[in-house]
Chain A
Amino acid sequence: MISRVRAADLLPLAVLSMRGRPLRAALSTLGIAIGIAAIVGVLGITRSSQADLLARIDRLGTNLLTVADGHSVGGEEVPLPEHAATGIARTGGVRRVTATAGLARVAVFRTDRIPAYRTGGIDVRATDPSLLGTLDGQVATGVFLNEATSRYPVVVLGHDAATQLGIDRVDAGTRVWLGGHWFTVAGVLQPFELAPEIDRAALIGRPVAAEYFGFDGHPTRLYVRTDTARTALVAGMLARAANPAEPSSVLVSRPSDALASRLLVADSVTALLLGLGAIALLVGGVGIANVMVISVLERRTEIGLRRALGAARRHIAVQFLSESLLLSLLGGAAGAALGAVATYAVATSRGWETLVPMTGVWAGLTAAFVIGTAAGLYPALRAARLNPTDALRTS
């Protein structure tokens, strides 16, 4: 003849107490809910944004390298040799190369009535028709330069430059005042994520640059597409290939590295936010423990009655522990749902694919379970230790 409780009765017992004090139950789960929501939300939003970033990096390609002129050890400007592109094109692993040259003293305006100092920060660059292919870019409207138009006063505007000049469509009569000459606008480019300097540029052909502005043929920046697998190797060889005489003055960079570094930054921010979520969880656990301790004090009569009805100490302990666990798990579930909704909302508003990390959800629920157990342990033992005659006397 030993006292026993069916496992199936534990949940109704725990629910019973919560139904008696629904507001208190809701408030006491709030801390856990906020903690789990923060963890799931932070993980979900970070994953969604990282997935988007990775997809963008993937789409843009990691095999684009840029070669720019730099300075010598003595601090003097060292221009790239005129035939730098040829040297680079001969390098193994290079698929395409296109040279561009900034025309320092040439500015572009919407009309010839605009004062010369209001350049709007738009660069004029001389380049080849192959630039679009090398950058894997797209024309938003109109066409890009070709062998023919490169010889005439024709310009293609980068995305930001077109916006700056107030040009949103291209027709036969669209012209800009470039370096003191009227240039016909042939097209406007889509933004280039990996080459923002092109977005801010007005691009003209190298022949017309030479003819109108005395361009000497020295490039200032080259864009290089490589075999993806050999990108790092090629990057190491480009300086010497571009300027064998002074390779140390050549700047070689990989624009996709800037995007990839954002992943690392995001990781460190995530760690910080997860830490805050963990603190919220801890506070939530303390809140539940507090509510459970108060509950034990308030329910001395019930504890005494249950002992009189045949409950052993362990049954009282298990009852209070299951209440604490239930509160915690409900908070955990609400928090996970809230985190998922927040992730969905943020991802949708930013145009990312929603990624709710299930590991985060499970980790959150496991944390809620552990916290519920830890928070309920002391009150449960305290309730179990209560002497039934004392418990009944206090009423």
Chain B
Amino acid sequence: MSDVVLRLENAGRAYPGTPPVESLRGVDLTVRAGELVAVAGPSGSGKTTLLNLAAGLDRPTSGTIRLAGQAIDGLSDRRLSGLRAYALGVVFQQFFLMDHRSAVDNVADGLLYRAVPANERRRAAADALDRVGLAHRAGHPAGRLSGGERQRVAIARALVGRPALILADEPTGNLDSAGGAQILTLLRDLHADGVTLIVITHDATVAAACPRRVDLHDGRIVADTGRPT
């Protein structure tokens, strides 16, 4: 089906050891275009492993993962990286911005690995900042922005290339409740505009605010409000 953005089929990720540690096992998950999915679960439930697999930062040790229609198993490093550059945007709990660079330059880096010329990158970055309501802060060094603003810059960076899927790892985890609420509103607004989002969270409020919720426990999906029955 053409509108499937992410599909995990019986996906598992085991780490070597005696016995091997299975962070994720037998996960089946399909995310379609336009969905806003919360992946919730306690610490150690496999949320981050799921994010790493869905973001193409890691490969499964069993099962298959298709991202934007492509199976990632056999992809070369360059093609998998291309998939991350073109089809994915990732938002991290710690923002991961370069503090001494301006907000617009941080956002423009979202297009660096698509070989987009610098002036076009900056133009698209300015648009993305406008979209997250930070046009007035475009020239400010990222290090001088508030936590909420920094996370918006990070969201703008994930958004700038209009990827098929945005993955957000605990996007409100480093923010106070007011800042967290603003980010949650922004994510919902983006979803309303048709952006596909997966939010990894252990925050029940965030999970409850998403139309679909997937619960992980001990590396398995124990509940999925969007699973066809």
Contacts and interface: CB of A to CB of B under 8 A. Distances in A.
Given A5-B113, A8-B118, A16-B101, A312 B78 contact: yes
A1 B115 contact: no
Interface string A363-395: 000000000000000000000000111001001
Contacts of A392: 57, 92, 96
B78 A3 contact: yes
Interface stretch (A194-202, A265-273, A287-295, A299-307): A299-307
Nearest to B97: A305
Interface size class of A (residues with CB under 8 A): 20 to 34
Contacts of B64: none
Interface string A316-327: 000000000000
A389 B13 CA distance: 13
Contact of A308 (B82, B90, B94): B90
B29 interface: no
B87 A5 contact: no
B77 A2 contact: no
Contacts of A57: none
Contacts of A311: 81, 85, 112-113
B190 interface: no
A9 B100 contact: no
Interface residues of B, number: 32
Name which of B94, B112, B118 has the most chain A CB atoms within 10 A of its CB: B112
Interface in B95-151: 96, 98, 100-101, 109-110, 112-118
A284 B217 CA distance: 54
A4 B83 CA distance: 11
Interface string A7-22: 0110010001001100
B84 interface: yes
B100 A19 contact: yes
B22 interface: no
A389 B51 CA distance: 10
A95 interface: no
Nearest to A6: B115
Interface of A: 1-6, 8-9, 12, 16, 19-20, 301-302, 304-315, 387-389, 392, 395
